[in-house]
Structure formats: structure tokens, C-alpha cells
Amino acid sequence: MAYKPFDLTGKVALVTGGNSGIGLGMAEALAQAGADVAIWGTNEAKNAAATEQLKAHGRNVLAQKVDVADERQVADGMREAVAKLGRVDTVIANAGVGGGARSFAEFSTDTYRRVLSVNLDGVFFTFREACKHMVERAEKGDRGGSLVVTSSLSAIDGAARNEAYASTKGAVISMIRAIAVEHARYGVRANAVLPGWIATDMTQGAQGNEKFTEQVIRRVPFRRWGEPEDFGGIAVYLASDASSFHTGDSFLIDGGYAIF
């Protein structure tokens, strides 16, 4: 018999912030591997474009306008996804925003609160609803599920002038480890992915900056920006049965930047 643990046929994955960047790179790989996919995003035009891109792989695709910082929208969104797609096997909490300052001393409270509301509260709300669904299924004899959070290199590597962002990305690693321990009894695993310097809308301002390229990207052993498609493999692995005994871990995907 052929070894096919990466076949996601019959599985459903939900990706927050799935209409662009790393989230869309993950969603596309999941669809290519056979999963039906739900994507959450607040920009309806991006949702529509991503839907067409994902449908090209022949899978069911559900695009939902959900602001993860809004507790009610998250609960309603998860309920709708389960109702329309039948179940949710994998939830990737990827939605996030940036927000820094010229210096820590000048960091505004408004920026701090905005970053926490999406990057930390949003992950908490999303995973809480996901766990409700997965635990309920497990108690009916349908065990299993995978939770994945997009953290960041900034969680472990000092991110000057980005203290709010770095704090949220460190916090979600602790959250994922706690979820992993509590929910293993239900067959649910939980892991974090830590991207390095990736070419997305969030880093657009730095991508054409020669000084940044010289001082930062040249330090990446691969000598290039990461791309959203670089996260397809880890998404499929963590959604698949191949990772059925892998939980509470953090995957650093940065082209070797942190060790150079």
C-alpha cells in the first residue's frame, strides 16, 4: 500500500488571514493536498480573489468576512464554517497586524492595544471556538484535530521598536503549548510556526529598501526573502495524519537567519 499520510482528502481547514501572504500560501497548499478550505479576512475584495485562486484546485472554498479581534464575529464565523463545510479539522490562526514606533519610549498605547487585539486576542478567540468544536466531536467518538498559530522570529529574536508585535508573538507560543497539553486527551495537537523575513504586504515597505536588503536580507543564509509558498509544506504536514503524534512544538522557518 502506498504511503499517503499527507493526503488531506475529506479534511477541512480554516485559515484566518487566509486571503493573502503566508495565510494564502498555506491555504493553497492545503487545497492542493485535498482539503476543503475556509478563509477569514476583513477585505472582501481580497477574499473574493483568494476564493477564485483556491477553487482552481477543485475543492470547496468558503470565504468569510471575520475580524478576529471581535469575539462575536469569531464565534459566528466558526459556527458558520462548521455548518457549511460539515466540520473543521485544522485551524490556522494566521491573521495579524504590525505596528511599531520610532522608539519604545514613543510607543503609543493605541498602537499597543490594536496589535494585541488582533495578534493575541484574535488567536485566543479563534482557538477557543476551535477547541469547543473539536472537543465536542471527540466526546462523540470523532477524535482529532490540529491547531496552528503563525508566530514570528520576533518572538525569540529581539525586535527593536516592535515590542507590542514581539510580545504577542511570544505569548501565542505559550498559549499553544498550554492548549497542546490540555487537549491531547482529545487527539488534538497544537503547534506554532515562526516565520522570518517573508515578502508579504506587512513587509512591503522594506522589500525595496537597499539598506535593509544589505544589512538584513544578506544575513539570511539563503540570501533571499521568504515567500508565502515556503509555508505550504509545514501547513500540509501539520494538517495531515503524518503529524498525529507531534504537538507543542515551534517550527522556525527563516532561511537560517536566526543561526547565522
Active site residues: 165
Q: Which residues contact 42 (CB under 8 A, 6 or more apart)?
A: 65, 66, 67
Rounded-to-integer distance, Cα 105 and Cα 123, Å: 27
- Bridge partners (DSSP) of residue 194 are 252
DSSP secondary structure, 13-63, as one string: EEEETTTSHHHHHHHHHHHHTT-EEEEEES-HHHHHHHHHHHHTTT--EEE
Residue among 177, 198, 154, 141 at smallest CA distance from 17: 198
SS3 234: helix
Element (H, E) at 168: helix 163-183
- Tell me how far apart the alpha carbons of residues 128 and 109 are, in angstroms, rounded to a whole number: 26
